[in-house]
Amino acid sequence: MVALFGSDEFIQQFKDTVNGNTAYADAAKDWEGDFLFIVKPDGPLKSEIIYYVDLYHGKCREAHLVPASESQKTSFIYEGPLRSWVKLLGKQLDPIGSLMLGKFKLHGNLATILRYTRAAKELVNSVSQVPTEFPEDWTQYIADLRSQG
C-alpha cells in the first residue's frame, strides 16, 4: 500500500520493512538507540515532520509520527531539510556521508553512529522500499530534486 510521506502510515510501513530486513538485523545486532528523524521546512513543506524511531538489536521496536508541539527526549536526532530527505529516500545521498557534507545534522554521539554505518545504509534501503507518495502540490518540486542527481 502506498503511504503518504509525513504520515503515521509511512513510518509504520518503514517499521515493518526494517523488521523484515535481515541485512539490517545483522548489521545492527548490537545497536541500541532511539532517534527523532526531523524533516525541516523546505520548498513546499511549511512545518516540520518529526518521526520517532526506537531501534534495538536489529529491530525497530516502535515508530510513530510526533506532533511538532510535543517534545521527546532521544539518544539521537537526525535532521535536515525536505530536499535532503527526498534525496536520501531516493538513495541519492548516503546517510553518513551527507552528515559530512552538511546536508543533515546529527545530535548525539557521532562515534557511535560511525560504528554502525552499514546499519544506517540498511535503514535507508528499508525506507526506500516503502511505496511513497508526496502531496500533489509537491510533484514538480520532487521531480526537480530527483532529476538533479
The answer to whether 53 and 37 are in contact (CB under 8 A) is: yes
Q: How confident is the model at residue 148 (pLDDT cuts 50, 70, 90)?
A: confident
CATH number, residue 78: 3.30.1050.10
Centre a 10 Å sphere on the Cβ of residue 122 and count the other Cβ atoms it contains.
Answer: 22
Q: Is 106 exposed, middle or buried (0-12, 13-18, 19+ CB in 10 A)?
A: middle
Q: What's the pLDDT tens digit per position in 38-95?
A: 999 999 999 999 999 999 999 999 999 998 777 778 999 999 999 999 999 888 999 9
Please report the pLDDT score of residue 39 as a whole number: 96
Q: Is 70 exposed, middle or buried (0-12, 13-18, 19+ CB in 10 A)?
A: exposed
pTM for the whole structure: 0.92
The answer to whether 25 and 123 are in contact (CB under 8 A) is: no
State how far the Cα of 134 lies from the Cα of 116, in Å rounded to an integer. 30
Q: How many domains does the chain have?
A: 1
Helix, strand or coil for residue 51? strand
Please report the pLDDT score of residue 149 as a whole number: 65
* Mean pLDDT of the 129-137 span: 92
* Domain range enclosing 59: 3-147
Q: With a cut of 90, say whether residue 147 has pLDDT above it.
A: no
CA nearest 94: which of 115, 118, 72, 77?
A: 118
Q: What's the pLDDT tens digit per position in 111-128?
A: 999 999 999 999 989 998
The mean-pLDDT minimum among 13-27, 67-81, 94-108 falls in: 67-81
